[in-house]
Amino acid sequence: MNLKLVFTDKEITPWSGMIFMKKLLNQTGIFTELIKRDLPEQGSNRGYDPIQLITSFMVSIWCGANRFEHLEVSRFDDVLRRIFGYKKMAGHKAYQRYFKQFTIATNQQVFTKVIQWFFEQIRLDNYTLFVDSTVLTRYGDQQGAKKGYNPQKPGRNSHHPLLAFVDECKMVANFWRRSGDAYTTNNFLSFLQDTINRLKGKKVSLLRADSGFYGKEIFDFIEQRDINYIIVARHYATIQRKVASLKSWFVLEDGLEVTATTYQSDTWDAP
């Protein structure tokens, strides 16, 4: 292979593909939507425009940033600055100062409307909604990080957020951060109601969840809203005996068989 080495005085960047992301953002109309929302205002005339901070924050993430210090990747790239038409790029401290102005109430007010707007653009209905929780290990002193269930780093502080995402369009519908010592179902019903509100005008045809969300209170909540659901059963002894007694199984492939049955717990009103 013949390689040609060339020197140039022109400014270059490994992120030239961001010009297509700029065109995508313009076409979606997200900037117009954000301007409508009551975003926190800067306390100083020297503060960066909130739309610029939000945009360059997304750009930095697309460029690989996963912590505030990494936001400098966009600050010192003059080609990126010119692609997005900014006079100068903000340092990572500017993002931290601005995002601290977002309270729980502000987040709820702004992002509920933005997410509703987003899903209104999708010409698709009858969603499959996945809900789950995860463990995010934290280092240092981060707000809300506490010791709890952490299989990867036992004893480490963590957050235990709830997530909901729509399978058909592979998009997150909701995310609630919780302290690391929160149980899986803590505030889940409020989270689920908030998620349904964010999907305003869309029908949730099927909800799927793992055994962490197995419980009568949750079943009743979903059934009252006429939503079909698949939730993994916890392997209580009664469930194990029920499964062990089943004889008719349909073989899908080696090691995978399915069957159907009904079951009614002593605390349930119906099977």
List pLDDT tens digits, range 181-237. Answer: 888 888 999 999 999 999 988 999 999 999 999 999 999 999 999 999 999 999 899
* Contact yes or no for 186/218 (Cβ under 8 A): no
pLDDT band at 1 (very low <50, low <70, confident <90, very high): low
**What is the amino acid identity at position 123?**
R
> The pTM is what?
0.81
Residues 6 or more apart in contact with residue 108 via CB below 8 angstroms: none
* Contact yes or no for 60/74 (Cβ under 8 A): yes
pLDDT band at 175 (very low <50, low <70, confident <90, very high): very high
Residue 49 region, left (φ>0) first, then alpha (ψ -120 to 50), else beta? beta
**What is the C-alpha to C-alpha distance for residues 202 and 233, in angstroms, rounded to an integer?**
28
Dihedral of the alpha carbons of 164, 167, 168, 172, in degrees to the nearest 10: 30
Does residue 11 carry a pLDDT above 80?
no
**What is the C-alpha to C-alpha distance for residues 155 and 146, in angstroms, rounded to an integer?**
9
- Please report the pLDDT score of residue 174 as a whole number: 94
